[in-house]
Amino acid sequence: MICELAAFERMADQVLVRAVDLEKFLFCVPPRIWALMAWKGGKTTGYAMVSEHFSSFAGRFGLYLEDVYVRKGHRNTGVGRALLGQVGRLAAALGHDRLDFQVLDWNVQARAFYERIGARSLEGWVPYRLSGEALAAMADDVNEGGQR
């Protein structure tokens, strides 16, 4: 389903993960990621994947929602709400009171769904990512003393 989500988000060429990678992070102790699955009639209808993150301001951990995906034909049936309910239960079980995530700006249905359940966009924040060659170059540019 990760590949289905990537295709939906117009990013199919960016999927590099393998099942063995997921298994390594899902089944280690403690888990590094959690995958919550939705089923109907013995078939998967959706999933949510989360990991922990730390807020230096709050001094607490929270969950980061990397993915939530509901298969076509099962959307608008309560599957997404049920998945997020399970994410909320996981957060509570871990002692977390915060769930952060991003939504593609063009995905108006997802944005409307999140707003209906009480999520608010973080005005003033612009997501950035440093990865691949740029991240490696930064690591190479800094010497052991932390100076350029």
Given a cut of 60, whether residue 146 has pLDDT beyond it is no
**pLDDT at residue 95 in the model:** 95
- What sign results for the dihedral spanned by CA atoms 83, 89, 94, 95? positive
Residue given tokens 């005005």 in the structure block: 123
Tally the residues of the chain.
148
Mean pLDDT of the chain: 93
DSSP 72-86: TTSTTTTHHHHHHHH
Whether the Cβ atoms of residue 115 and residue 59 lie closer than 8 Å to each other: no
Whether the Cβ atoms of residue 87 and residue 50 lie closer than 8 Å to each other: yes
Work out the average pLDDT over 74-85: 95
The residues near 50 (Cβ < 8 Å, ≥ 6 apart) are 33, 34, 36, 63, 64, 65, 66, 87, 90, 99
Residue-range domains of the chain with CATH:
2-141 (3.40.630.30)
pLDDT, tens digit, for every residue of 102-118? 999 999 999 999 999 99
Active-site position among 47, 69, 114, 128:
114
Rounded Cα distance between 146 and 148, Å, is 7
pLDDT, tens digit, for every residue of 7-63? 999 999 999 999 999 999 999 999 999 999 999 999 999 999 999 999 999 999 999
pTM of the model: 0.86
Q: Report residue 140's pLDDT band, with 50, 70 and 90 as the boundaries.
A: confident
**pLDDT at residue 50 in the model:** 98
**pLDDT at residue 23 in the model:** 96
> Does the annotation mark 114 as catalytic?
yes
Given a cut of 60, whether residue 144 has pLDDT beyond it is no
**pLDDT at residue 129 in the model:** 85
